[in-house]
């Protein structure tokens, strides 16, 4: 029985030439070409040769990471591998919805393109930034920020003691001082905006109109809300949830807990990097998890799955 969940990374997973080696794979190339056609942007350049300092711009990073995940997913699907559930971190939620059949690839690519453009422009309206707080719970972080009366909010709850905060760039140092004084450790994030915060409310309204123009389909696999961790069942429910996505916090810790309760026993991070692999291992060290950020890792995962299927078949025959 398939009890695998595919995980899709968000911003921060990009790296220079992350897709260069994959461009030798026909299934991967077909997806990249389709995304390039839909967006009229040089996505293959984003993932193969764009320097890090240019790729980190949020509109390019988002489209590049999405393209990587969709290309690697196509390679897996071509070999008839699948999962019973999908989950994506922030931007990765769009990859998850596409693999689950909720969004068509072209529509998802268009939404990711426009999301990136809106989030980039938001920073010109109100300069924002983000930082990682380690060693404090969500409740403590919330309390500290509220008492300090800052326009800084929890944005990603990655672990029980790792919270990403987001808000005004000119108040981040104050937030750092308050949270370090409470016993936390601060790591600044090199991002160009206050993502998943109320500072993006204007852009979120524009994006909601774009979401209304796109058809949504019933999910073919288990899909979870980024903000609540609960299962989303209908196209209408997913549409409503996605409209709040840009300004809502990502409750990744809740998502991992929910997937565990659903009986997921194995995970595969589909796309670039190993960020979600690392978070999962910190959440549960014994959980089997694989990454697919290079063709070598992808082939290793697929061989492992073939071996597992063969072993299950032999056990059934013996029974």
Pairing of strands 185-189, 128-134: antiparallel
Phi/psi for 130 (5° steps) reads -145, 160
The predicted structure's pLDDT at residue 40: 97
Q: Tokens 């980024």 label which residue? A: 226
3-state DSSP assignment of residue 54:
helix
Is 1 a residue whose pLDDT tops 80?
no
CA distance 145 to 251: 18
Domain boundaries, the chain: 4-124+198-318, 127-189
Question: Residue 291 is inside which H or E element, if any?
Answer: strand 289-291
> What whole-number distance in Å separates Cα of residue 228 and Cα of residue 139?
16
Spell 4-19 as b/e; 16+ CB within 10 A means b: bbbbbbbbbbbbbebb
CA distance 118 to 213: 17
Please tell me the CATH code under which domain 127-189 is placed.
Answer: 3.30.70.250
Cα–Cα distance for residue pair 159/134, rounded to 1 Å: 9
Q: Percentage of the chain with pLDDT > 70?
A: 97
Task: Please check whether the two domains, 4-124+198-318 and 127-189, share a CATH topology.
Answer: no
Question: Does the structure show a pLDDT above 70 at 318?
Answer: no
- Round to whole Å and give the CA distance between 175 and 278: 26
Is the model's pLDDT at 136 over the cut of 80?
A: yes
pLDDT at 317 over 70: no
Q: Do 256 and 285 contact (CB within 8 A), yes or no?
A: no
Q: Which two tokens stand for residue 101?
A: 């059949």
Please compute the mean of the pLDDT values over residues 175-189 and round it to a whole number. 97
* pLDDT computed for residue 315 by the predictor: 66
Nearest C-alpha neighbor of 294 from the set 270, 276, 275, 265:
270
What class is the 4-124+198-318 domain?
Answer: alpha beta
123: confidence class by pLDDT, cuts 50, 70, 90: confident
Helix residue spans in 40-185 (DSSP H):
43-48, 52-55, 58-78, 92-99, 105-125, 138-148, 172-181
Label the pairing between strands 289-291 and 162-168.
Answer: unpaired
Does this model's pTM top 0.75? My answer is yes
* CA separation for the pair 310, 198 (Å, rounded): 50
Distances in Å between the Cα of 243 and the Cα atoms of 77, 207, 209 are 29, 7, 9
> pLDDT per residue over 265-302, tens digit each?
999 999 999 999 999 999 888 889 999 999 999 999 99
CB neighbour class for 127 (10 Å; exposed up to 12, middle 13-18, buried from 19) = middle
Does position 41 have pLDDT exceeding 80, yes or no? yes
Give me the mean pLDDT over the 142-165 stretch. 97
Query: Sign of the CA dihedral 59, 109, 223, 6?
Result: negative
């Amino acid at each position: 029985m398939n009890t695998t969940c595919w995980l899709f990374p968000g911003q921060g997973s990009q790296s220079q030439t992350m897709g260069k080696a994959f461009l030798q794979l026909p299934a991967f190339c077909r997806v990249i070409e389709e995304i390039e056609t839909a967006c009229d942007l040089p996505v293959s350049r984003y993932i193969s040769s764009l320097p890090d300092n240019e790729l980190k711009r949020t509109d390019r990073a988002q489209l590049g990471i999405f393209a990587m995940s969709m290309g690697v997913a196509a390679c897996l699907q071509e070999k008839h591998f699948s999962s019973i559930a999908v989950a994506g971190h922030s931007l990765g939620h769009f990859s998850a919805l596409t693999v689950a059949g909720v969004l068509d690839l072209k529509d998802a690519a268009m939404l990711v393109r426009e999301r990136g453009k809106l989030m980039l422009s938001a920073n010109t309206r109100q300069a924002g930034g983000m930082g990682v707080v380690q060693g404090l719970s969500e409740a403590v972080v919330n309390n500290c920020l509220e008492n300090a009366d800052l326009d800084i909010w929890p944005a990603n709850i990655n672990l029980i003691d790792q919270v990403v905060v987001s808000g005004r760039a000119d108040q981040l140092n104050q937030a750092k001082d308050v949270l370090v004084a409470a016993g936390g450790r601060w790591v600044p994030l090199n991002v160009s905006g206050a993502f998943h915060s109320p500072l993006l409310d204007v852009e979120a309204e524009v994006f909601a109109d774009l979401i209304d123009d796109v058809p949504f389909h019933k999910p073919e696999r288990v899909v979870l809300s980024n903000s609540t961790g609960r299962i989303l069942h209908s196209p209408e429910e997913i549409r409503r949830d996605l409209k709040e996505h840009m300004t809502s916090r990502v409750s990744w810790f809740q998502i991992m807990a929910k997937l565990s309760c659903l009986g997921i026993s194995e995970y595969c991070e589909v796309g670039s990097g190993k960020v979600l692999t690392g978070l999962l291992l910190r959440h549960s060290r014994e959980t089997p998890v694989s990454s697919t950020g290079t063709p070598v890792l992808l082939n290793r995962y697929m061989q492992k799955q073939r071996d597992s299927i063969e072993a299950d078949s032999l056990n059934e025959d013996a029974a």
